[in-house]
Amino acid sequence: MAAASELPHAVCVELARDAIAAGPAAYEPAAAAERAHQYRRSLLAPVINATGVLLHTNLGRAPLALTQSPQATNVEFDLETGERGSRQTVVGGLLATLCGAEAAMVVNNNAASVLLVLAALANGRDVLVSRGESVEIGGGFRVPEVIEQSGARLLDVGTTNRTRLADYSRAISRRTSDVALVLKVHPGNYRVEGFTEGTSIEQLATLSVPIVADIGSGLIDANCPWLSGPPPAWLATEPAARQTLAAGAALVTFSGDKLFGGPQAGIIAGRADLVAACGHHPLARALRPGIHILLALQQVALAYLQRAVVSDSWDAGLPFWQMATASVNELSVRAHQLVATAGCGAVVATESVPGAGSAPGTTIASVGVSTAGDHLAALRRARPPIIARTRDGVTVFDLRTVNPADDGYLVEALRACAS
């Protein structure tokens, strides 16, 4: 079993024991081998994302090549002085430069960013949040619960659909000494439309307490200066770190593995004194990132600063922005070539989506290849697994989210589906 399934002997022994415990039918040779193969398929491994969801949370969000030399790294060592340094200094400095901030630091995800900011700056005090922004993100995590765990007190202001500057001012005047900050949460995974009213960062910045903006998805600059053309239209409603800080926010928090295009991380950027307070809090050590994340973030930050985000090759640029900026024409050329090479399938117009709570409700024109029938289960068993989508009994591969280097696997998949 071990040789056939490519699994370690010890794992196969445990699977065999489980099969015996399940009864005679489960430990027939064929059934035992299938159990081993199922276990192997459950291991973490590369897959081809043909869903058209650029930031697919279940598929790891932003894809990124991770490379590191098998050597020691000066993660907390100052090469000038020969003394201990901070793991936040270099990467934090690069991120601060990107955001136009005084300082920045990194934790392990954006929920941790918000938790640390609130614990460091608002423990035992009030945090003002619009009722329309007390959101729940994926996995059932809710802003009110994060605030509670931080030791701060949530103070709702306004209503679900309308919150004005006067609502915040009134709350501060009533509890002046107790209000630590205003938390403005971008509704990244939903939209409130109709009879609505919100309060901008510029307006909130006139208040007497710091404004912390959780912008979530991690767009660095609304102008996208790393692109040769204008910003993509679907980003029009996304708040960006640089503009949010320029508008008066004291701090911004956002994810590293969404629109930033990097690894899973949480980034805190803004006023140096507030970032320092976060860095000195005991939770900062519990939430700190490891060397692999810091190296990956350094790689991504340098790509932005060097204007090397988009390239002729996915391996040379940032894969997220390669997907996001691919033209419909180049996707169409790939699709027609795939169909011609496979000798089957059809070229179809599709609509991709940003995903991961970024730019909710927006779509991106794309091109894919379709084949009749629902082949999702068979495609998941392919090597590498291909994750596609079906509609009206047709399987569709959206090419916007497929690395061109993987087109050969799609050719094989199309032929297998047709046969």
pLDDT, one tens digit per residue, over 320-363 is 999 999 999 999 999 999 999 999 999 999 999 999 878 888 89
Instruction: Assess whether pLDDT exceeds 60 at residue 311.
Output: yes
Integer Cα distance of 183 and 133 in angstroms: 9
Summarised one tens digit per residue, pLDDT across range 161-198 is: 888 999 999 999 987 779 999 999 987 666 666 677 88
Extract the tokens encoding 232. Answer: 């993509």
> What CATH number matches the domain at 89-305, 1.10.3720.10, 3.50.50.60, 3.40.50.920, 3.40.640.10?
3.40.640.10
pLDDT band at 409 (very low <50, low <70, confident <90, very high): very high
| Domain 48-64+321-418: CATH architecture, name and number where available | Alpha-Beta Complex (3.90)
Give residue 161's pLDDT. Answer: 83
Give residue 419's pLDDT. Answer: 87
The residues spanned by each domain of the chain are 48-64+321-418, 89-305
CA 40 to chain centre: 26
Which residues is 389 bridged to in the sheet?
A: 396
Q: Are strands 153-157 and 126-130 parallel, antiparallel or unpaired?
A: parallel
Q: pLDDT over 90 for what percent of the chain?
A: 72
- Cα distances from 162 to residues 186, 197, 260, 270, 378, in angstroms, run 15, 4, 30, 27, 49
Task: Indicate the pTM of the whole model.
Answer: 0.92
Mean predicted confidence (pLDDT) in 104-131: 96
Q: Tokens 């490379």 identify what position? A: 67
Which residues is 157 bridged to in the sheet?
A: 130
Helix (H, G, I), strand (E, B) or coil at 124: coil
* Other C-beta atoms lying within 10 Å of the C-beta of residue 130: 24
Give residue 31's pLDDT. Answer: 73
